[in-house]
Amino acid sequence: MQTCLYCPKIGYYERQPAQIGRSGDFHTSVSVGPLFGRLLGVQFVRWLSEAGVGPRQIVEAGAHDGQLAADILAGIRDYQAKMPAQPSPPEYWIIEPSLERQHWQRARLEEFAGSVRWFESFAAIPAGGISGIIFSNELLDAFPIHRFAWDAAEKTWFEWGVGWRDGRFVWERLPAGSSDIEKHLVASGFVLPAELTAILPDGYIIEVSPAAAEWWRTAARSLRCGKLVAIDYGLEAHEHLSPERTQGTLRAYSRHRVIDDPLAAPGEQDLTAHVNFTQLRRAAMSEGLDEGEWIDQSRFLSRIAAEHWKEPPPASLAPEVVRQFQTLTHPDHFGRRFRVLMHSRGG
């Protein structure tokens, strides 16, 4: 999964940034239009204003082609133009290990070139850490996973690996001991009582992503004070255990269709699995952040809009803005599928 998505030569996300939107493989909140980023910009400025004066940063990880950053920065610029008492705009930092994606982002953000800095990783940021906001949008769902399955006859878990047979990639059962499965499950919040394992269907699949948890832990460690935010589709650990998800949540996307075989066309289709928010919350708290708030995108954006649109009133909004807001918050579109996890550290 790491190679298929991120290899500098053949990785899916290293191709030209045409995967998103109507002509690509999938839609995102960003592809709906600029409103998503503009509302985020308003919320970020408010959070930073509440935190007081001093150097402040907004740090985005997984900026793809830079469109969300452009929308956020435009939203901040317009909002602060109407609020003369606001402090100077915050610095905008992008964590981006890919030189190719940095190139796309620099081209998209040329208008804001003086306000944006790039870093390959959290290890490269200044020693003082980050005071402000660290956030990601649809990043953690594309971290590599382990795929564990239940053997009902043996009453034990095993891991599915990827092998090569007859000219194609196939799933292969890995030998016992290949991974410390029990350790991974417990760390991810999957503590299954005997009553459940007694009826768990044979072959039931659970995914875990130690890489996502470690990344989130590193982000939390880098936050000196402020907010740590993830916007993504995902579930709490207990929600993964559902009759609807006997094969887990790993899937591939191409041309807006779910592809049955995630191993087909490596590097040419998106691969994704639901984020485990229980695991993320534990990782952040292990680094001293608070328990956090976890709400759906509809409620999150509606709270921002309710305050932001007091003036002008909603009735005066352009039809295009109303359409974007409805798409972003409607439960059948983006409103319920996407969740927002917000942690804080006081300073």
Burial 301-326 (b: 16+ CB within 10 A, else e): bbebbeebbeeeeeeebeeebeebbe
Check if the beta carbon of residue 249 is closer than 8 Å to that of residue 143.
no
The answer to whether residue 41 is domain-embedded is yes
Indicate which CATH number applies to the domain containing 97: 3.40.50.12710
List of residues 6+ apart from 71 with CB closer than 8 A:
30, 34, 36, 37, 38, 40, 41
Q: Name the domain count of the chain.
A: 1
Check if the beta carbon of residue 130 is closer than 8 Å to that of residue 228.
no
The answer to whether residue 324 is domain-embedded is yes
Domain that holds residue 45: 15-143+210-237+275-345
Q: How far apart are CA 77 and CA 65, in angstroms?
A: 20
Q: How far apart are CA 231 and CA 340, in angstroms?
A: 5
- Report the candidate in 48, 202, 193, 203 with the shortest Cα–Cα distance to residue 132: 48
pLDDT tens for the chain, 347 residues: list them: 999 999 998 899 987 665 665 656 667 899 899 999 999 999 999 999 886 656 699 999 999 999 999 999 999 998 888 776 666 778 999 999 999 999 999 999 999 988 999 999 999 999 889 999 999 999 999 999 999 999 999 999 999 999 999 999 999 999 988 789 999 999 999 989 999 999 999 999 999 999 999 999 999 999 999 999 999 999 999 999 888 899 999 999 988 788 889 999 999 999 999 999 999 999 999 999 999 999 999 999 999 998 888 755 555 678 899 999 999 999 887 878 899 999 999 86
The answer to whether residue 243 is domain-embedded is no
List of residues 6+ apart from 253 with CB closer than 8 A:
25, 26, 259, 269, 270, 272
Check if the beta carbon of residue 227 is closer than 8 Å to that of residue 134.
yes
| 3-class state of residue 132 by DSSP | strand
Q: What is the phi/psi pair of residue 142, to 5°?
A: -105, 20
Tokens at 236, concatenated:
């709490």
Check if the beta carbon of residue 46 is closer than 8 Å to that of residue 79.
no
Check if the beta carbon of residue 235 is closer than 8 Å to that of residue 277.
yes
The answer to whether residue 182 is domain-embedded is no
The answer to whether residue 109 is domain-embedded is yes
The answer to whether residue 82 is domain-embedded is yes
The answer to whether residue 123 is domain-embedded is yes
The answer to whether residue 26 is domain-embedded is yes
Q: What is the pLDDT of residue 312?
A: 53
Whether the ω angle into residue 312 lies within 30 degrees of 0, i.e. cis, is yes
